[in-house]
Structure 1
Amino acid sequence: MAGPFAPFEPHGNGGPRIREIPLRLIVPNLITVLAICAGLSGIRLAFEGRLETAVLMVLLAAFLDAVDGRVARMLKATSKFGAQMDSLADIVNFGVAPALVLYAYILEGAGALGWIAALLFAIACGLRLARFNVMLDDEDKPAWQGDYFVGIPAPAGAALVMLPIYLGFVGIEPGPTLELAACVYTIAVGFLLISRLPVYSGKASGSRVRRELVIPIMLGVVLYALLLASFTWVTLSASAVLYFGFLIVSVRAYARRAAQEEAKQESGKEE
């Protein structure tokens, strides 16, 4: 007799049938579901006026959504089901949740313009994620370009767009001018998501660290975690500002690398 639920097929109908599902295949999907719960809870908390907790929930959702794929790869538990779940969760946690929390905090004061800004950011995030999924299948892309995202990644966009909230918690009170500035800023971050700006990711060549750098990196991570715990909103504000500086460094590094690769190709043709 068939049970009330369809059997879980992590690899779809075309994949291998598994009689009993290993727990390691379920863990990444649970992380994704928890990320969705955190993002949606952040929206609810924002409209209840508990904004600090709402922002932390959205950041938690973004963190969980950013690591579930890595956990799946570490556990060798990647699946078609997990990939689809992750894609659906991304638009909620990186697009919808930050936009609505920001709207509840400051954009609502700008009226229709604030709602337009929130909508544009959420839509830009969806477009960026769709483009990212399509570009994964690009086999003609040079290997070195795997070190760079095209446009800022969605998790970074979610963290950046909430900068007006961080500044508000530091002590900058919202007003008509800041509400208008927040609308412009939100739209600008949305355009950065869908832009062709090269942003260094380190995915292709950043998996190894020189031995002499291990301890300084560990100390740096600990220091950042302590600053985040002790001076949360100041640290997040500074991190967002520093990230914009990092974008400039990324563009310059990409231009240098592109010139080097072009020079190699020209020298190869001459030989």
Structure 2
Amino acid sequence: MNRWGVPARMRARPAPTGQRRKGIYLLPNLLTLAALFGGFYAVVMAINGRFELSAAGIFCAMVFDSLDGRVARLTHTQSAFGEQMDSLSDMVSFGAAPALIAYVWALQGIGRWGWIAAFVYCACAALRLARFNVNTSVVDTRYFQGLPSPAAAALVVGFVWVMTDLEVSGSRVAWLMFFVCLYAGLTMVTNVPFYSFKDLQLKRSVPFIALVVMTIAIAVVNLAPAVVLFGMFVVYGLSGYALHVYRRMRDLPTSIISVSTEEPEERGLHR
């Protein structure tokens, strides 16, 4: 004890000087913010009646969303903060934004059925993202469990983009928009497997002809971006069901859950 009667072990200790301050990684989170801005921009343009720019905003958000995770892995800058930020950005850009664009463009013309379809899509996007976050450790990484939310958003806004290019008003195809929203939304929450392309090795060398094919593909997209991109995502949106039927016909497992169908332990997820 010192002269004031305070035990030595209770004396205040100087704060350590060598600790690093916690922070966030700039580059991947900037890409995530860019994806978030794409969704926000799309909503603003839809309110202003510029639906072709709305579609462009969503497709740009898809590009940035595909880059942020890859950049984080390449630069070893993954973080829990980045994962949560990515999920919130996806909910805005691929959940709320497409639903609002579809509603403003066509669905508001059919009354309560319109906002019901928009809400079903938005709710299914939230459910799909939540399930993805908790099932990451038990799902075969070669496949997505249900249609990924960026592809679902591409179906919805791609349809809007094509019809706008063809100068077809939303009121004329409101019920078709209704079914597109329901299909995209409900397919997100199915257990149908969709190929994830995560096992493609971009670092491997490829034949020269592959570069020629890619050049031709880019040229074809430039001929009619709306039609080509929408067509690509329609094919992808149907591919999961084709794969599901193929697996059943070949007596292969149709589930992509590799360990358990139960929700993993949630310790540390809620803070």
TM-score of the superposed pair, with normalisation by structure 2: 0.77
Could you tell me how far 1:157 is from its partner in structure 2?
A: 0.9
**Is 2:58 the counterpart of 1:58?**
yes
Match of 1:185 among 180, 184, 189: 180
Among 226, 229, 250, the alignment partner of 1:236 is 229
Residue 67 of structure 2 corresponds to residue 73 of structure 1 = no
8 Å contact kept, 1:66–1:155 = no
Q: Percent identity?
A: 31
User: Cα gap change, 1:131/1:257 in structure 2, threshold over 3 Å: closer, same or farther?
Assistant: farther
Q: Write the distance in 1 (CA, Å) between the matches of 2:95 and 2:151.
A: 11
Contact 2:105 2:170 in 1 (8 A): no
Q: 1:73-92 counterparts in 2 under 5 A?
A: 73-92=73-92
Equivalent in the alignment of 1:207: 201
Partner Cα distance (1:49, 1:94) in 2 = 19
Structure 1 residues 260 and 43 mapped into 2: Cα distance closer, same or farther (>3 Å)?
closer
What do residues 140-178 of structure 1 show as CA deviations (whole Å, max 9, x unaligned)? x5xxx3311110111111111224313313416236562
Aligned position for 1:162: 157
Give 1:103's aligned residue: 103
1:29 and 2:23 correspond: no
Tell me how far apart the structure 2 counterparts of residues 135 and 245 of structure 1 sit (CA, whole Å): 23
Q: 1:20 offset after TM fit, Å?
A: 8.5
Moved over 4 A (4+): 19-22, 208-211, 252-258
| Cα distance change, pair 83–20 in 1 and its aligned pair in 2 (3 A) | closer
**1:209–1:133 Cα change, 3 Å:** same
Shift of 1:41: 1.2
C-alpha displacement of 1:245: 4.4
Deviation at 1:33, TM superposition (A): 1.0
Question: How many Å separate the matches in 1 of 2:29 and 2:107?
Answer: 33
Q: Secondary structure at 2:57's aligned position in 1?
A: helix
Report how far residue 260 of structure 1 moved.
8.2
On the 8 A contact 1:198/1:254 being kept in 2, the answer is: no
State the aligned residue count: 237
SS at match of 1:202: coil
Unaligned runs of 5+ in 2: 1-17, 255-271
Taking structure 1 as reference, are residues 121 and 207 closer, same or farther at Cα in structure 2, changes over 3 Å only? same
CA distance in 1, matches of 2:251, 2:89: 34
- Residue 255 and residue 172 in structure 1: after superposition, are their counterparts in 2 closer, same or farther (change >3 A)? farther
Deviation at 1:45, TM superposition (A): 0.8
Equivalent of 1:149, from 139, 144, 147?
144
Equivalent-residue separation in structure 2 for 1:241 and 1:201 (angstroms): 16
Instruction: Give the Cα separation in 2 of the matches to 1:106 and 1:216.
Output: 43
Q: Is the 8 A contact 1:28 1:69 kept in 2?
A: yes
Partner Cα separation in structure 1 for residue 88 and residue 134 of structure 2: 15
Q: Distance in 2 between matches of 1:108 and 1:44?
A: 17
Call closer, same or farther: CA 1:54–1:257 in 2, change over 3 Å: same
Q: TM-score, normalised by structure 1?
A: 0.77
Q: Return the structure number with greater helix share.
A: 1
Q: Which residue of 1 aligns with 2:135?
A: 135
- Cα deviation, 1:209-233, whole Å, max 9, x if unaligned, reads 875x543433333333222233111
CA RMSD of aligned residues (A): 2.7
